[in-house]
Copies of this chain bind each other. A is one copy, B any other.
Amino acid sequence: MEDIDVNALLIGGKSENGELFKSLLGRLIDEHLGWRQNYMPQDRPLISADEQASPAFQKTVQKLKDVMEELSVRMRADSVPWESPRYWGHMNSETLTPALLGYYFGMLWNENNVSYEGSPATSLLEEEVGMDFARLFSFPNGWGHICADGSIANLEALWYARNVKSLPLAMKEVKPELVAGKSDWELLNMPTEEIIDLMSSLSEVDLDLVKRKSARSGKRIEDLGKWIIPATKHYSWLKAADITGVGMDNVIMIPVDEHYRMKIDDLEKTIEDLATQKIPVLGVVGVVGTTEEGAIDHIDKICALRKSFAKKGINFYLHADCAYGGYARSIILDSNYDVIPYADLEHELRQNNVFQDPSNTISRDDYEALKALEDVDSVTVDPHKMGYVPYTAGGIAIKDVRMRNAISYFASYVFDKTIDPPVQIGPYILEGSKAGAAAAAVWATHRVLPVNITGYGRVIGRSIEGARNFYKFMSELEVEVEGTKVEAHTIYYPDFNMVDWVFNVEGNKDLDAMNRLNQNFFIQSSIYSGMDYLKPILTSHTDFTREEYGDSCLGFIRQIGITSPWEEGSHLTTLRASAMNLMMYDAKDFAAYKVKLTEAIKEVLKPCLNTK
C-alpha cells in the first residue's frame, strides 16, 4: 500500500514546507508563462522593454506595489492564525497544498465552467470531480458538480426536490395517460425514482412541455407539502425555503436528542400526523456534521423510515446536508470505493494508519449513518470545509444523473444543440459563471488524496483524532485562577470533530453566571477584544436556546450542578471548537500543546473572572 504523509501536503503552521510550496508554484507559473509565449510564437510581444522602462509604466508598477503592500499589512494585521494549534474555533483552517496550487494554476487560465467553450480544460476536470463525489456516496449512476458553497448546494437541492415532486401533477396536465388513475394525493406521493423513470420515458418535446407545467411555472408550489429539517439545521434551510417560494410556513423542525441528532420518533410521528391531515411531505433533510455540534443524524434510520412509509403510499424526497461532514464517508470506503464491512473496519483503519491511537474507531452509529447515504436522493458536500480546499468550492451530488433534466435550461445561444461538447455543466446547475480554477483545485487534491480510506480517510482521521484529544483534555481540565477553581465540562462525546464545552466556577449553580463566564471567555479569546494575532488561544462560541434546542442540553446542565430553571427564554452559552487542525492528532505534539493551552486558558480566564 502506498504510504501518504499528509504533512507533505501542508504549508505548515510554521511554514515548514514554505520553500517546497514556492518551488512547486514557481514551476507551474513558468509553465503557464511559456504557454503564453509559445502560442503562435511568430507573434511579437506587444509590450516592449522600452515601454517597461518608461516613467508611466514604472509609476504604475510603484502604485501596484504600494497597493499590494497595503493589502499585505491589512491581511497580516487583521487575520486569524487558523493553522496554529492554538486555534480551536470556527470551521476554518489551513488548506492542502495541491488545492492551493491547483487553484492558483487554474486561475492563470481563467476558465469559466458555465460552458464547455469557456473551459475546455476545466469542465472536464469538474466532471471528474463530480464522479468523485458520486463515488464518495456510492451513487453508481450519480453525478455531481462544484457549487459556490453549501448554502447554494442546499438551495439547489430544495429546487430539485420542488421541481421533481411537482412533475407528476404536470404530467397529469400534459400527458395524463402517463399517470392514469392516480389521485392528486398519489401524484404528490410518488417516489423520486419512479418520477425520474417516468420523466425519462418522455420525448424531448414532451419533457419540455411537462417541465413548463411543473413548479417552474410558479403554480401549485404550496400543494407540494412540508419540508422537514432537524432543529440543528443550518439557517440556509430557512433561506432556501424563502427563496424557492416553498415558504417558511411550510418548514417543520424536528427536535434533537442529547446527542444533537434528529429524534427519529418525532420525525415519524410528524409524517404520520401530516398524512392523517392529507398534507404531503415534500422532503426531509438529514444532517451529517451539524454546524454547531458536528452531530451526525441517523441517516440509516431516516432511510428505513422512508421505506416503511413507502409501503403506506407516502413518499418524500430525501436530502443529506453533508456540507461539513461529507468527506468523512471516505473513511468507510476501501481503495476501490466499496463500503468496508463494519467487521473489517478496525483492521482497515489500522492498515491505513487512519488513527494513531488504536483505541480510536468509528462508532457503529456513525458508520451506519455514513453508509446509508447511498440511499438518499442528493447530498451537499463542501470541499472548502472538510476537503481542506480554499474558498470557494462547495459541492452537490445526486443519486441519479437523469434527475438533472428536472431543472435543466438550454438557452439556445449558450448551448447550441447542433454541436456536441464532451461535457456540459452549465445547463444543469443553479449558478452561471463559475471558476474553472476551483475545479482544478479539487481535482488535483482528489488525485493526490482519493476520497477513500487510503487518501482523505487519513486526513479526516487526523481531524477526528485531534478532536478526541481536545475532548479528553477539556473533559478533564480544572484550573485555579487567583484562588478560584474553574472546571471545564464537555457537553457530548463528539460524533465527528467538533467539541462544545463550558467553563464553570466550582460550586456555581447559576446558569446566567456560567453563561456570562463563557461569553466573556469567548470575547477574550476572539477578535472582539483586539487583534487575534496577539492572543494565546482562540475559540468560538454558540448558544443553545430552549426555543430552538428544546431540552437537549438539560441533562448536561443538571449533571454539572446547575439548578437554575430551564424555562422560556433560557439558553446555554457554550464554547465551540471545530477541530480542523491536522497536527493535533499526534499524542506527543498534543501533550506539548496541552501545557500551552492550559496556561493560555488561565491567562484568558483571569479578566473574565474579574468582570462578573
The stretch of A197-205, A412-420, A555-563 that contacts the partner chain: A412-420
Residue of B whose beta carbon sits closest to that of A70: B447
Residue of B whose beta carbon sits closest to that of A218: B247
> Complex: how many Å from CA A118 to CA B222?
37
Evaluate contact between B5 and A46: CB separation under 8 angstroms: no
Q: Which B residues lie within 8 Å of A542 (CB)?
A: 413
> Complex: how many Å from CA A36 to CA B17?
12
> Complex: how many Å from CA A241 to CA B214?
13
Evaluate contact between A71 and B105: CB separation under 8 angstroms: yes
> Complex: how many Å from CA A89 to CA B119?
13
A18-B33, A216-B247, A433-B382 given as contacts; is B118 within 8 A of A67 (CB)? no
Closest-CB distance, A502 to chain B (whole angstroms): 15
* Contact mask for chain A residues 53-79; partner B; CB cutoff 8 A; 1 contact, 0 none: 011111111011101101110111111
Evaluate contact between B448 and A63: CB separation under 8 angstroms: yes
Q: Which B residues lie within 8 Å of A493 (CB)?
A: none
* Contact mask for chain A residues 580-603; partner B; CB cutoff 8 A; 1 contact, 0 none: 000100100100000010000000
| A8 within 8 A of partner (CB) | yes
Please count how many residues in chain A sit with their CB below 8 Å of the partner chain's CB atoms. 186
* Contact mask for chain A residues 240-251; partner B; CB cutoff 8 A; 1 contact, 0 none: 011111111110
> Complex: how many Å from CA A112 to CA B148?
12
Q: Which B residues lie within 8 Å of A90 (CB)?
A: 112, 115, 117-118
In residues 539-562 of chain A, which contact B (Cβ within 8 Å)?
Answer: 540-543, 545, 548
Evaluate contact between A440 and B71: CB separation under 8 angstroms: yes
* Contact mask for chain A residues 88-122; partner B; CB cutoff 8 A; 1 contact, 0 none: 01111111011011111111111110111110111
| A14 within 8 A of partner (CB) | yes
Q: Which B residues lie within 8 Å of A34 (CB)?
A: 15
Evaluate contact between B8 and A60: CB separation under 8 angstroms: yes
A36-B81, A107-B390 given as contacts; is B4 within 8 A of A63 (CB)? yes
Which of A245, A545, A596 is the most central at the interface, judged by chain B CB atoms within 10 Å of its CB?
Answer: A245
> Complex: how many Å from CA A34 to CA B75?
13
In residues 437-495 of chain A, which contact B (Cβ within 8 Å)?
Answer: 437-438, 440, 443-444, 447-448
| A365 within 8 A of partner (CB) | no
Which of A39, A80, A222, A407 is the most central at the interface, judged by chain B CB atoms within 10 Å of its CB?
Answer: A39
Closest-CB distance, A420 to chain B (whole angstroms): 9
Residue of B whose beta carbon sits closest to that of A571: B412
Residue of B whose beta carbon sits closest to that of A222: B218
A18-B33, A24-B64 given as contacts; is B7 within 8 A of A57 (CB)? yes
In residues 106-149 of chain A, which contact B (Cβ within 8 Å)?
Answer: 106-112, 114-118, 120-122, 124-125, 148-149
> Complex: how many Å from CA A475 to CA B363?
72
Evaluate contact between B57 and A8: CB separation under 8 angstroms: yes
In residues 1-38 of chain A, which contact B (Cβ within 8 Å)?
Answer: 2-18, 20-22, 24-29, 31-37
Evaluate contact between B68 and A24: CB separation under 8 angstroms: yes
> Complex: how many Å from CA A115 to CA B92?
11
Evaluate contact between B390 and A392: CB separation under 8 angstroms: no
| A532 within 8 A of partner (CB) | yes
In residues 516-531 of chain A, which contact B (Cβ within 8 Å)?
Answer: 519, 523, 526-528
| A409 within 8 A of partner (CB) | yes
Residue of B whose beta carbon sits closest to that of A533: B39
* Contact mask for chain A residues 246-281; partner B; CB cutoff 8 A; 1 contact, 0 none: 111110000000000000000000000000000000
Closest-CB distance, A37 to chain B (whole angstroms): 5
The stretch of A231-239, A299-307, A312-320, A343-351 that contacts the partner chain: A231-239
Evaluate contact between A391 and B435: CB separation under 8 angstroms: yes
Evaluate contact between B218 and A150: CB separation under 8 angstroms: no
| A180 within 8 A of partner (CB) | no
> Complex: how many Å from CA A54 to CA B533?
33
Evaluate contact between B120 and A78: CB separation under 8 angstroms: yes
> Complex: how many Å from CA A520 to CA B541?
61
Evaluate contact between A46 and B583: CB separation under 8 angstroms: yes
| A308 within 8 A of partner (CB) | no
> Complex: how many Å from CA A460 to CA B116?
26
| A182 within 8 A of partner (CB) | no
A24-B65, A218-B221, A218-B249 given as contacts; is B15 within 8 A of A120 (CB)? no
Evaluate contact between A121 and B52: CB separation under 8 angstroms: no
Closest-CB distance, A528 to chain B (whole angstroms): 6
Q: Which of B55, B82, B519 contacts A418 (CB 8 A)?
A: B519
Evaluate contact between B218 and A246: CB separation under 8 angstroms: yes
Closest-CB distance, A573 to chain B (whole angstroms): 9
Residue of B whose beta carbon sits closest to that of A251: B218
Which 5 A/B pairs are nearest by Cβ-Cβ distance? Answer: A218-B247, A245-B245, A151-B432, A235-B411, A148-B148
Given A12-B45, A31-B76, 6 further pairs, Cβ under 8 A = A8-B58, A64-B97, A77-B121, A116-B527, A149-B432, A234-B411
**A–B pairs, 19, beta carbons within 8 Å:** A3-B59, A14-B37, A15-B34, A74-B121, A82-B110, A114-B149, A120-B527, A148-B392, A152-B432, A215-B245, A216-B247, A216-B248, A218-B241, A236-B432, A244-B244, A291-B414, A292-B413, A385-B433, A413-B542
